[in-house]
Structure 1
Amino acid sequence: MTFADAQAYCAAVTKKSGSNFYYSFLFLPKPRRDAMYAVYAFCKEVDSAVDEPPPGSDPHHQLRRWREELAAAYHGSPTHPVTISLAEHARRLAVPQAYFDDLINGVEMDLTILRYATFQELSLYCYRVASVVGLICLHIFGLTSPRACDYAVNLGTAFQLTNILRDVGADAERGRVYLPQEDLARFGYSEDELFKRTYSPTFLELMRFESARAREFYDRARAAIDALPAHDRRALTVAEIMRGVYMRILGRIERSGYRVFGPRIGLSSSHRLAIAAGVWLRSRLP
């Protein structure tokens, strides 16, 4: 397979996903957009190996294969279209392999860990499946300063916490409870109530607490980017688009009264595109 074919595959995977991220990528110059497609496709394929495994497949085996492909992308000859594309971008942009290793380790946690006793334990999961993606993106955007890294880590955690709140019901159906056990105990909301989709005053208090925690990480990310020079802030426009999208999703969760046991709360394609355009235009103002 040629690099062009591999790149086309990654672009198709990203577009087909309908992800919030796709709309932000449209505002990148083509070389950076192509790199983001490769990174997103890698994340999507690895995540699907666990959350949407092909019938009869072994997720553990699938992750081993992805580790082999990743090693080949950095030190050999990859064979999958995603890693063929990723190899070129990772080399050109000097993206550390350790970030992708961490990502796979994070996805693998879903195979063995169904509960998190404390928020500290959950933080490691958030770092691996979300924050490291932000650190990878910094290489694509051309930023690796400590303050930019603070921005990426905090924003990734905020995104993942938002996803956890939005998917409380869907995750429970899979037997997964990402809300820390210490928080359930603190507010007196039991797992049995969660699995029964019990909507109660204690559930509302629990969700308000978790939402405030997510907003704290959004605030930390904003403080970090505000401390950067104007040129660096403009380089992070795509990440700021995602911050705008995910903060609106969190706002909708809050305004719904945390009705997360029904249809998944999200934004329409036109709304996401409007947010992206607005953030991009503001980034170009003096």
Structure 2
Amino acid sequence: MTNLLKIPYSFFRPIYEKTNFHHAVISEIEDSKLRYAYSHCRSITRTHAKTFYMATRFLPLEKQRSIFAIYGLCRYLDDLVDEAEDLVHKKKITEDEVVKRLEAFRVKLISTYRGVEHNSPVLFAFSDVLNRFNISIEHPLTLLDGVKMDLTKNRYDTFDELYEYSYKVASVVGLMTSEIFGYEDPKALNHAIDLGIAMQLTNILRDVGEDLVRGRIYLPKDELDSCGITEDDLFSRDLSDKFIEFMKFQISRAREYYASADKGIEMLSKDSRLPVMLARENYSRILNKIEENNYQVFHQRAYLSSAEKFSILPKVIIQLR
């Protein structure tokens, strides 16, 4: 079994994608427009969220599709802001035009909740999810506010500020998906919030170098100051001892949020625990990779190979017994 799990996912994927289980997620949908909409969302998830996509494959078919639709919505908003940001930088559109685009989407989103049908495959799939699950409109609207922050804010003075941003762009996604996963104890939602925070902090620590290229610093300024680290130090990519100590603290805090999230996984519906735990384990192991890379986040992006992602599966199954 151990050797089998070391075989790259790229070897299994063509085989898996020929199975009835893979096709049934989409093919069992009778309406052709809806079938295309969900297929579109699945393609987005598979392309842009490989760790997340792999984990969802262990969900029942209806839950899989619904998660694809939610991720499609999140990715659409993220891309909308990133594209707009690039166009503003190139002076092809103004910031006012960007705000108008986002407001137009907000109006479409609200009308989707009111039963209005749109041509967007993402919104069409999401509207079907709304017919099946109780997802508060507050969550996607909060997500929209979060991604808009990237247009106006590229520095964070305190962790409280960073927490607010992380809640808006990540924790609300956990709150939406929790409605898909199912839970009996509402306390599960508090732990879903913490999992979103943990994953977003992991993103931030992994992407320090990439964010600097875009002129962004998501690391709390007051904590950088307390370690004697300046913006010039970051932009010069100085992997100093004080930066390493700073990273150790950041990783430790992220792990505390993962530990809290673990308490909520057992509160989820039984058929959803494995994929959530799998995603949690693989995402948290990015922190291990940062440590293995000697905290070199300026020039090296920490990631797990497909084989490494699959190798955790037996451990997760045993944990959930």
Of the structure 1 ranges 262-271 and 173-182, higher mean CA displacement relative to structure 2 is found in 262-271
Note if contact 1:167-1:264 (Cα within 8 Å) is conserved in structure 2: yes
Of the structure 1 ranges 233-242 and 93-102, higher mean CA displacement relative to structure 2 is found in 233-242
Residues 187-202 of structure 1: pairs in structure 2 closer than 5 A: 187-202=227-242
Note if contact 1:50-1:107 (Cα within 8 Å) is conserved in structure 2: yes
Match of 2:293 among 256, 264, 273: 256
Residues 24, 145 of structure 1: alpha-carbon distance in 2 compared, 3 angstrom cutoff: same
Residues 69, 232 of structure 1: alpha-carbon distance in 2 compared, 3 angstrom cutoff: same
Q: Is 1:64 matched up with 2:78?
A: no
Q: Is 1:126 matched up with 2:166?
A: yes
Of the structure 1 ranges 60-69 and 164-173, higher mean CA displacement relative to structure 2 is found in 60-69
Q: What secondary structure is seen at the aligned counterpart in 2 of 1:236?
A: helix
Larger Rg, first or second structure (1 or 2): 2
TM-score, scaled to structure 1: 0.91
Whole-angstrom CA distance in 2 between matches of 1:83 and 1:283: 37
Of the structure 1 ranges 266-275 and 231-240, higher mean CA displacement relative to structure 2 is found in 231-240
TM-score, scaled to structure 2: 0.82
Q: Is 1:45 matched up with 2:76?
A: yes
1:74 aligned partner, one-letter code: Y
Match of 1:216 among 252, 256, 263: 256
Whole-angstrom CA distance in 2 between matches of 1:12 and 1:81: 12
Following superposition, the deviation at residue 14 of structure 1 comes to 1.3
Whole-angstrom CA distance in 2 between matches of 1:109 and 1:193: 25
More RCO (CA 8 Å, sep 6+): 2
Match of 2:127 among 80, 84, 87: 87
Partner of 1:22: 53
Q: CA offsets, 1:190-212, max 9 Å, x none?
A: 01110111111111111111111
Whole-angstrom CA distance in 1 between matches of 2:148 and 2:182: 29
Residues 28, 223 of structure 1: alpha-carbon distance in 2 compared, 3 angstrom cutoff: closer
> Which runs of 5 or more residues in structure 1 are unaligned?
none
Note if contact 1:117-1:182 (Cα within 8 Å) is conserved in structure 2: yes
Q: How many residue pairs were aligned?
A: 281
Partner of 1:3: 34
Match of 1:33 among 56, 59, 64: 64
> Which runs of 5 or more residues in structure 2 are unaligned?
1-31
1:281 aligned partner, one-letter code: I
Q: CA offsets, 1:26-47, max 9 Å, x none?
A: 1111100000110011111111
RMSD value, Cα:
2.0
Whole-angstrom CA distance in 2 between matches of 1:4 and 1:279: 35
Q: What secondary structure is seen at the aligned counterpart in 1 of 2:126?
A: helix
Whole-angstrom CA distance in 1 between matches of 2:292 and 2:83: 31
Note if contact 1:158-1:214 (Cα within 8 Å) is conserved in structure 2: yes
Over the matched positions of the two proteins, sequence identity in percent amounts to 37
Following superposition, the deviation at residue 242 of structure 1 comes to 1.1
Match of 1:207 among 247, 262, 272: 247
Of the structure 1 ranges 86-95 and 65-74, higher mean CA displacement relative to structure 2 is found in 65-74
Q: Is 1:184 matched up with 2:224?
A: yes
1:90 aligned partner, one-letter code: L
Q: Is 1:244 matched up with 2:281?
A: yes
Following superposition, the deviation at residue 279 of structure 1 comes to 5.5
Q: CA offsets, 1:190-240, max 9 Å, x none?
A: 0111011111111111111111111111111123445x4xx7465332221
Following superposition, the deviation at residue 50 of structure 1 comes to 1.8
